[in-house]
Amino acid sequence: MSNKTKVAIIAANGGLFDAYKVFNIASAAAASDAEVGIFFTFEGLNLIHKEAHKNLPLPEGKEHFQEGFQKANVPSIEELVEVATEMGVKMIACQMTMDVMSLDKDQFVEGIEVGGAATFIDYAKDANITLSF
Amino acid sequence: MKATKVLDAKGLACPMPIVRTKKAMDELSTGDVLEIHATDKGAKSDLTAWAKSGGHELLDMEEGDVLKFWIKKG
């Protein structure tokens, strides 16, 4: 366990592009036997919100890329969340943001944890790779 | 080359070829050879890197419209 690569990711944005950046890196890392943890904060909570993650917005003016996603046969975010969960990616939703936005744990996908900044810091303190999206 | 198992990852985009390869490899034993077919051009560098980071051996690769890889489980 200790010689495993450890990856700590902060997801702080809630668009479709942001979701792909986060979940592609997370799934690729998990598939490469890394231990992966993601801290979802502010708009990043959209990426694991039961409803919102199924219909994330493209950046303004980039809506035409929708076609490109289909053409390239890119997996849906729903599918990537399932893959990440199945491969044991630890997902932590930020308690403070949830309080600000009046969100409850049951509004998020199965298997997430709720924690504060200190929870992430404790997880990330010995990470080999730390990323922020 | 003789493979223990063949994985069809054609038509899949990143990161799915790696995810499927990982799942298929988990079902094999050390020394078994997994043959992977992919059309994602990124798979060429990705599967090479994946094999390296997982301690597996990339025995051979065939380029073309369909990329073929033979990876021996380490």
Asked if A44 and A71 count as a contact pair (C-beta separation under 8 A), the reply is no
Tokens at B30, concatenated: 């050390």
The CATH number of the domain holding residue B58 is 3.30.110.40
Nearest-CA residue of chain A relative to B21?
A: A31
Asked if B24 and B37 count as a contact pair (C-beta separation under 8 A), the reply is no
Q: Do B19 and A5 touch (CB under 8 A)?
A: no
Q: Do A31 and B21 touch (CB under 8 A)?
A: yes
| Count of all residues that appear for chain B in the document | 74
* Domain that includes residue B47, residue range: 5-72
In eight-state DSSP terms, residue B65 is S
The pLDDT tens digits for B1-60 are 889 999 999 999 999 999 999 999 999 999 999 999 999 999 999 999 999 999 999 999
Active-site option among B1, B6, B13, B14: B14
User: d(Cα B31, Cα B33) in Å, to the nearest integer?
Assistant: 6
pLDDT band at A1 (very low <50, low <70, confident <90, very high): very low
Q: Which of A73, A79, A81, A87 to mutate to test the interface with B (most CBs of B within 10 A)?
A: A73
Q: Per the structure, how many domains does chain B have? A: 1
- Give the predicted TM-score (pTM) of the model: 0.92
The CATH number corresponding to A6-132 among 3.40.1260.10, 4.10.1240.10, 3.40.190.10, 3.40.50.300 equals: 3.40.1260.10
Q: Do B53 and A31 touch (CB under 8 A)?
A: no
Q: What pLDDT is stored for residue A125 in this prediction? A: 96
Task: Check if B12 contacts A (Cβ < 8 Å).
Answer: yes
The beta-carbon neighbor of A75 closest among B16, B49, B53 is B16
pLDDT band at A2 (very low <50, low <70, confident <90, very high): low
List all residues 6 or more positions away from A2 whose beta carbon is below 8 Å from its beta carbon: none
Selection from A29, A27, A22, A37 nearest residue A94 by Cα: A37
What are the angstrom distances between the C-alpha of A94 and each of A11, A21, A86, B31, B71? 10, 19, 21, 44, 40
Establish whether B18 is a catalytic residue: no
Selection from B16, B66, B24, B36 nearest residue A76 by Cα: B16
Q: Do A32 and B53 touch (CB under 8 A)?
A: yes
User: d(Cα A67, Cα A46) in Å, to the nearest integer?
Assistant: 22
Map tokens 């059309």 to a residue: B39
The average pLDDT across A2-12 equals 91
